[in-house]
Structure 1
Amino acid sequence: MASHTAPARQNLPLETDGFIGRERDVSDLLRLLDVNRLVTLCGVGGIGKTRLALRVATHATGSFPDGVWLAELADVRTRDEVVSRIASAVGVREETGREPGATLQDALRPRRLLLVLDNCEHVIDDVAAVSRSVLDFCPSVSLLLTSREPVRIGGESVWRVPPLSLPQRHGDADPGESEAVRLFVERARSCAPDFAVTPERLRTVAGICRRLDGIPLGIELAAARVRLLSLPQIADRLSDRFRFLTSGDRGAPARQRTLRAVIDWSHALLSDAERVLLRRLSVFSGWNLELAEQVCCDELLPKVDVLDLITSLVDRSLVTVVGEQRGRVRYRLLDTIRHYAAERLAEAGEEVALRTRHREQMLRIAEDLADDVGHRTGLPWSQRLLLWQQAVAEYDNLRASLNWSVSRDDVEEGLRLCVAMRPFWMANGHFAEGICWTDRLLAMDGASGVGEALRGRAMVRRAELAWEQPDHARAREIGEEGLRLCREAGDDPSVALALNTLAMIDVRGRRYDRARRRLAEVTELTRGIGDRWNEGIARGILGALAAREGSLDAADAHYEAAMAILRDSDHRWGVGRTLIGRGTVAEARGDLLDADRYFREALDILRGVGASPELARCLAGVGRVAARQGATRQAYDYLSESLLMSHGTGQRMGVARCLSAIAGVAAGQGLAEEAHRIAGAAAAIRERAGFPPSASARPAVAEESAVDSRTLDSRWEQGRGLSVEESVAAALHLIDAGRVLPPPPVGADTAAERTAPPSLTPREHEIALLIGDGMGNRAIAEALFISPVTVARHVANIHTKLGFNSRTQIAAWISEHTVRS
């Protein structure tokens, strides 16, 4: 089978050179994966575990319709990081108020996919625990692991990766048929295209491969020398090196000592400058030329030499090219080489200096991101996006810097990283990770010695991360303390951020007056210091507050002001988030054309950022609006895409919203029973996620429907018993059924408009009549000599009693029922 031809999705890297040998291993492992859900490839470093796993995974894509996904674990240190790497690989985002591991399990449960976890040995216990939970809760997920030791959990099938086959010492067999010799020749030709094969040369190569025990990494390192040394010279030097084994653990297994010796030998052949650069590169998870120059150079290693030295290390198979990001070539060290180089770095007494310089560069990248993406005015969006992409590329290096800070008790540098990484954590949904790092550093003994200004900034941002979690009491507590410290330090931007965060918590807790006071202070403060970001966010929160109070006109005005501020700053991420709020308000007012326009504009912006939960909200909004405009099939298209995106990224509330919307559309088509089943499932998901029930949980049913209430109640309870996966499957089945039916009658948003009139108060009757005449809240307030807020409250009551969510529905109901006195 050719590489990368299977239809399934995957994130496997392209092979940069040929895969030699192990054909039978690949076939046997593919058969093993058919019957075993956990297969671990074990062997010493350099034996070829990763290459074999990637080749097997490439050929397995056709067997896993939901994809084959690689998670690199070489740099992780904790169980949370293991979960985070897997979630990132498969596209699962953190969910509000839930452990990331639980969200990952729910997202993976219905999928048939293969997870490839590479380099597990240093976190073997954590990998074992995560693997066990995946196997237990996700029955269609299989795992392919690489490790120097098994994970030792039930159901594991261990495959000991053997060396490449070696040529026979005696007999007539052609040495060129052995896997080890084939690998040497192929790599030699890649280094020296004129490398010719003769029987005598093959015999020499065969001897070299035997000395190297058929270990692929050792063979590649030796073959990389053919441009500088003859084959006899390579053989002689290997003989000398292995005769004495002058370095390495003599008590280690033979193959491990052999590999150590060949790396020693290859290292000894490097120039002094090459050895210096190799050991210093070990501080990186991956790098580009600019980073290498910034971190590795000093008087011992001039910057002008770095490019040639990296090229030389690539030629010697010590450095690997992994592709391009943002137009820059990215490099990495194989895990075995990196461990070796890190030992050389420590022996040279350079580890502290180099890791500190590495952290300084990561701090620069993170703080540039925080300043430019968050608050700096006059910066075009394209430049903000480039900074964002740089942070994405260096995220593993940023994590390594946090680990280094914690291991060294460098609380100040660690907290600076936490403060700077807050925009990245917020937008990418890494709330739990950001909270974990910040709490660890704030709890360390050295935290008391850090300046109060920095601790205050960290607390404020920790509170903002916690806003996405259900523990709002803790968020308020740490936010108030951070606010106090930032006030004392005169850190006005952090004060504004704290006030905005606390105001959001107040709005959620219905403490509207206190929220207004906080937001008024933000407005005054931000205008004085030119902080357009926090000013725009404050206006958006005022919009959300007004919408909660039913003042939809005021909400729209606030959102419009927020959008103007954020557009002026060319901060499209903020514009996209605000457009969602404005679209929701327009939808509630019945302004369907505006709602559709806002949701679609937000959709275009957020697709560029890659914000899956927000994208799902936009898609659902477009779908709801399309349904109310009579475009039923288009509504189903958008709602199904939103449903699958929410489910795929582990967002239960997004799933619940889509299910409710789909139920409403289906009920309008007369599919009352299945609509109630789906609506019941949506209500149960909301409850299990810890959210209050929706005011319009049950879809309205047309008067002419022959389905009795007892049947609908039964279907509702059936839906409540469905799992998330069953609910999604049932909704997709309902969509298929709804697509072939005609749309509801023109002018009827849902069957709710044809229900019998409930009991409205005289004032509500009066306001409903004026809505039917096309009057807005402000005009109604003037006509009846009451405040717009009072009108909005009456309109909200009408919606609740009629089961509506738009003024258009009220107007249609008025035209159909005689409610005039």
Structure 2
Amino acid sequence: MAANTAQAQQNLPLELNRFVGREGDLDAISRLLRSHRLVTLCGMGGIGKTRLALRAAAKATERFPDGVWLCEMSEATTREEVVARIAAALGARGDSERSPDQALDDVLRSRHLLLVLDNCEHVVADVSAVVERFLTRCPRVSFLVTSREPLRAPGESVWRVLPLTVPGPGPADPLGAESVQLFVDRARANAHDFAVTPERLDSIAEICRRLDGIPLGIELAAARVRLLSVAQIAERLSDRFAVLTYGDRSAPARQRTLRAVIDWSHDMLDDREQTLLRRLSVFSDWDLELAELVCADEALPARSLLDLLVSLVDRSLVTVVGEVQGRMRYRMLDTIRHYASARLAASGEEERLRLRHREQMLALAEELAHNAVAGHGVCWSRRFSSFQRVCAERDNMWAALNWSAERGDAVEGLRLCVALRPYWMVNGLLSEGAQWTDRFLALDCADEALRGRAMVRRAELAWDRNDQVHAVRVGEEGLRLCQEAGDHASVALALNILAMSDIRAGRLDRAGQRLAESVALTRATDDPWNEGIARSTQGALAARQGRLAEAGARYEEALTLLRVIDHRWGVGLTLIGQGRVAEASGDLSGAERCFREALEIQRAIGGAPELARCLAGVGRVLARRGKVAEAYGCLRESLTLCHHTGQRLGTARGLLAVATVAAAQGHAEEATLLAGAADRIREASGHSASGDPWPLRDGSFDRWWQEGRRTDVDEAVRRALRLAETGAAPTGSAPVDADAAVLTPREREVAQLVGRGMSNRSIAEQLFISPATVARHVANINTKLGFHSRNQIAAWINR
């Protein structure tokens, strides 16, 4: 089994050039991280806080078993966005009932890791509140923060990041100064034949003194060595700094120095380079294609942008991030971006550029929305490519949403929310999608058809979050508006969502009526995607009613539709349902085939909830087929994935799956403890018990059950993983396909009555024994045959 879901240990970016100096800072920060859980690096823009934090975090990796994780905060504007960015860095999805804060509590509570929160100065209060919460609730999580001011949170240790050392006026060797070392290193990177002569060294020393040892200023100056001699750079800086007429005269001297050197670097650009620099500030990061679409016009033709962009990179005003989807991506340092953004505002172009930026984000999102549900003519590679593209533009999507909200642009905001629904759904970002959609639905919007589309998608998010009341209320209103607008695709989607809500609430007849209506509509309008979802939901409804053969047929119809349109994500979801039906019917080879195909699809897509369900399905089937060690491997991976991404319901299911296999292998006490823990988690999250009640509840096993219900979820997961790690079956355990001879006559009699669909109470009355005794016989049957439900016993005895 490929370990694609193994947790990475860090997400720190690669260093694109050499780290120079600051050894004393690194040692001090390392000591602080050993003794303090919150360390904040403070200093002015351009002083090197981010680079120092990343190097310190990389050095600390070995001391944090669960990794070090960079969370970029430059685009965050609210407390919710701060939490969302931490969750995104950790891959935490959360689940339905809890706030994102609560979901992160569960993800972080037992993990020993370091979170690096970068560029926090504009959301200091929000970051401080979030950090304080997690410091209190998650005892092994530490924070390394960069900000221009402290968080002022309890227990914070502040490290002031000072400029690099500069050469003194005496005879000491200037090369001993960190600022000179940095200049020389960057100059050689820009001009490989750059040599340090005594004459040049004097000029370099003068440059570093003029720049007060500010790393950003030194890098900007060193980037000019291909165009100017070192003496010319020193002379121009001397002229510029003789009278500091640039920037805010009330600002501290070093901030005025940095502003002056950025002004100097900016003024050395030609008009077209200056224009592109300020226009690029609308992006968080970007590729050439986006830059051409947003920044080009008659004065700045698209064909000229590549050369101009290369020039900005050469001058250290733009940095290369790396390649994503075959496209090189770029960004600006935060200080440069703020500078360029101010220039953009002063130019009078800002609104026009931000509108063009939002138009491109809308185009990308709506392309995804179309490809996600399109019928014939869209191949899977195209669907998946548009999904990946939106993933790459997440920060830009947030910027467009924020800007729309600030302006009160309800129409554009709702269009973005409707279009981003597939992105939010697949990535499990349900809270994020709900928050944004609610924010724009609260605004006045004259376009009732658009409101209806948004409400239907909001209902889908609510259903996935198990918010049944919201799903039905918003879904019914959205259905009405979409029916009035003649939006057939949204009507079909609404009917499917409301039918799923009906099934969950036990309104099975109503669900059947809605699904029949959806199928008729989608067939009449040639909508294979929504028809496939309706057929799949009909399969779930039939399975809920115990009509397994019909359920299998409906799932097969759905698969046929979805395979024809090459929609692998839909195929993967349907295969999970079909696998469950095959499993309940006793068709183990068919069930394993379904789960493994779905697993392959979900690994490629990366949807954590569905991936965990596939792994659990494969594990259950392997256990029943006697492949216990391999089964434990799948169940261990599934449980770890659910626990690490904050899926409480998935964690409960994983614990129960491990418990079921363990019970079949003779570990009845420990299995009962895990089952009790799973039951408590489901209860706490508002979900009813899963399937048949755990059979080992009475007598001596009740103590283990109650202990499990008192066990902390982290401890329960640790115990389950330890148990799965051993994977040891005691001697004498029965293979899955054991002959009926392993059952006692009474057990076989009970199995036959289970096969007739009788309850424990009915069996007890017929055999003149107590229901508790029947439950014990059922447990023994499951243990001997490797089953974990009455449906499996029934399928086996009837076969």
Question: Is this a same-fold pair by TM over 0.5?
Answer: yes
Which TM bucket (shorter chain)?
over 0.9
Q: Supply the distance in 2 between the matched residues of 1:152 and 1:96 (Cα, whole angstroms).
A: 33
Superposed, 1:393-432 pairs within 5 Å as: 393-432=392-431
* Aligned position for 1:487: 483
Cα shift at 1:765: 7.3
Q: Which amino acid aligns with 1:21?
A: G
Whole-Å Cα distance in 2 between the matches of residues 541 and 657 of structure 1?
21
Tell me the amino acid that sits aligned with residue 730 of structure 2.
L
In structure 1, the residue matched to 2:773 is: none
The match for 1:805 is 789
Q: Which residue of 2 aligns with 1:509?
A: 505
Distance in 2 (alpha carbons) for counterparts of 1:670 and 1:454: 58
Q: Judge conservation of contact 2:751–2:781 (CA < 8 Å) in 1.
A: no
Q: Is the 8 A contact 1:163 1:213 kept in 2?
A: yes
Counterparts of 1:421-460 in structure 2 under 5 Å?
A: 421-444=420-443, 446-447=444-445, 450-460=446-456
Whether contact under 8 Å (1:696, 1:800) holds in the other structure is no
| Cα distance in 2, alignment partners of residues 500 and 749 from structure 1 | 42
AA partner of residue 679 (structure 2):
A
| Residue pairs, 1:83-98, within 5 angstroms | 83-98=83-98
Deviations for 1:91-143, whole angstroms, at most 9, x for unmatched residues? 11131222111111111111111111111111111111111121111111111
1:284-433 aligned within 5 A: 284-433=283-432
Structure 2 distance, partners of 1:813, 1:753, is: 13
Amino acid of the structure 1 residue aligned with 2:728 = R
Task: Give me the whole-angstrom Cα distance separating, in 2, the residues matched to 1:698 and 1:514.
Answer: 31
Bigger CA drift: 509-518 or 601-610? Answer: 509-518
Deviations 1:439-487 (A, max 9, x none): 111112x32xx31111111111111111112321122111111111111
- Corresponding position of 1:266: 265
Equivalent in the alignment of 1:68: 68
Deviates most, 387-396 or 668-677: 668-677
Question: Are residue 27 (structure 1) and residue 11 (structure 2) matched?
Answer: no
Q: Residues 602-661 of structure 1, C-alpha deviation per residue, up to 9 Å, x if partnerless?
A: 000100000111111111111111111111112111111111111111111111112112
**Counterpart code for 1:260:** R
Map of 1:724 onto structure 2: 713
Q: Does 1:651 align with 2:634?
A: no
Q: How does 1:787-802 map to 2 (within 5 A)?
A: none
| Equivalent residue number for residue 568 of structure 1 | 564
Measure, in 2, the Cα distance between the counterparts of 1:517 and 1:9.
Answer: 49
Counterpart amino acid of residue 247 in structure 1:
Y
Tell me by how many angstroms 1:402 deviates.
Answer: 0.5
Matched residue of 1:539: which SS?
Answer: helix
The TM-score normalised by the length of structure 2 is 0.93
Count of matched residue positions in the alignment of Structure 1 and Structure 2: 771
Displacement of 1:699 in angstroms is 4.7
Aligned pairs (5 A) from 1:573-592: 573-592=569-588
Task: Give 3-state SS (helix, strand or coil) of 2:40's partner.
Answer: strand
Q: Distance in 1 between matches of 2:201 and 2:14?
A: 30
**1:101 is matched with which residue?**
101
Cα–Cα, structure 1 residues 517 and 167, in superposed 2: closer, same or farther, change >3 Å?
A: same
**What is the alpha-carbon distance in structure 2 between the residues aligned to residue 241 and residue 347 of structure 1?**
22
Partner of residue 789, structure 1: none
Q: Which position in structure 1 is the counterpart of 2:700?
A: 711
Please give the alpha-carbon distance, in whole angstroms, between the structure 2 residues aligned to 1:713 and 1:533. Answer: 48
Residue type at the aligned position of 1:17: N
Q: Which residue of 1 aligns with 2:518?
A: 522
| Structure 1 residues 582-661: aligned runs within 5 Å | 582-661=578-657
Distance 1:738 1:606, change over 3 A: closer
Q: 1:812 offset after TM fit, Å? A: 6.2
- 1:674-697, CA deviations, whole angstroms, 9 ceiling, x for partnerless residues? 111111111111111111123434
Matches within 5 A, 1:42-57: 42-57=42-57
Return the alpha-carbon distance in structure 2 between the equivalents of residues 697 and 154 of structure 1: 47
- Check conservation: 1:588, 1:806, Cα contact below 8 A: no
Change in CA separation of 1:253 and 1:568 when aligned onto 2, cut-off 3 Å: same
CA distance, structure 1, for counterparts of residue 149 and residue 746 of structure 2: 71
Partner of 2:474: 478
Distance 2:662 2:541 in 1: 32
TM-fit CA distance, 1:63? 1.1
**Aligned-partner Cα distance in 2 for 1:743–1:284:** 65
CA distance in 2 between counterparts of 1:611 and 1:729 reads: 24
Distance verdict in 2 for CA 1:751–1:25, change over 3 Å: farther
Give 1:636-715 correspondences, 5 Å limit: 636-700=632-696, 709-715=698-704
Whole-Å separation in 2 of the counterparts to 1:757 and 1:484: 57
**Residue 662 of structure 1: how far off its partner (Å):** 1.4
Change (3 A) 1:503 1:740: closer
Shift of 1:51: 0.4
Distance 1:363 1:241 in 2: 44
Aligned-pair distance for 1:375?
2.1
Whole-angstrom CA distance in 2 between matches of 1:678 and 1:230: 72
Task: Please report how far the alpha carbon of residue 811 of structure 1 lies from its aligned counterpart in structure 2 after TM superposition.
Answer: 6.8
Distance in 1, Cα, partners of 2:531 & 2:705: 45
2:167 is equivalent to residue 167 of structure 1? yes
2:82 alignment partner AA: V
Q: Aligned equivalents of 1:566 and 1:761: distance in 2?
A: 42
d(CA) in 1 for partners of 2:639 and 2:736? 26
Deviations 1:729-752 (A, max 9, x none): 111222244426347213468999
For 1:756 and 1:351, locate their aligned partners in 2 and report how far apart those are by CA, in whole Å. 83
Shift of residue 285 of structure 1? 0.5
Give the letter aligned to residue 603 of structure 2.
R
How far apart, CA to CA, are the structure 1 residues paired with 2:757 and 2:546? 15
Q: 2:204 — aligned with what?
A: 205
- 1:465 counterpart SS class: helix
Separation in 2 of the partners of 1:234 and 1:486?
A: 65
1:245 shift after superposition: 1.9
Asked whether the 8 Å contact 1:681–1:721 carries over to 2, the reply is yes
Provide the rounded CA distance (Å) in 1 between the counterparts of 2:693 and 2:483.
44
Q: Letter of the aligned partner of 2:131 in structure 1?
A: S
Q: Please give the per-residue CA displacement for 1:173-193, whole angstroms capped at 9, x wherever unaligned.
A: 100111000101111111122
Long gaps (5+) in structure 2: 1-6, 759-776, 783-787
In the alignment, the residues of structure 2 paired with residue 743 and residue 266 of structure 1 have an alpha-carbon distance, to the nearest angstrom, of 79
- Contact persistence 1:700–1:752 (CA under 8 A): no
**After the TM superposition, which of the residue ranges 269-278 and 295-304 deviates more from structure 2?**
295-304
Q: Assess if the C-alpha contact under 8 Å between 1:374 and 1:533 holds in 2.
A: yes
SS in 2 for 1:494: helix
Summarize the Cα distance change of 1:811–1:589 in structure 2 as closer, same or farther, 3 Å threshold.
Answer: closer
1:678 is matched by which residue type in structure 2?
L
Q: Compared with structure 1, are the counterparts of its residues 492 and 750 closer, same or farther at alpha carbon in structure 2 (3 Å cutoff)?
A: farther
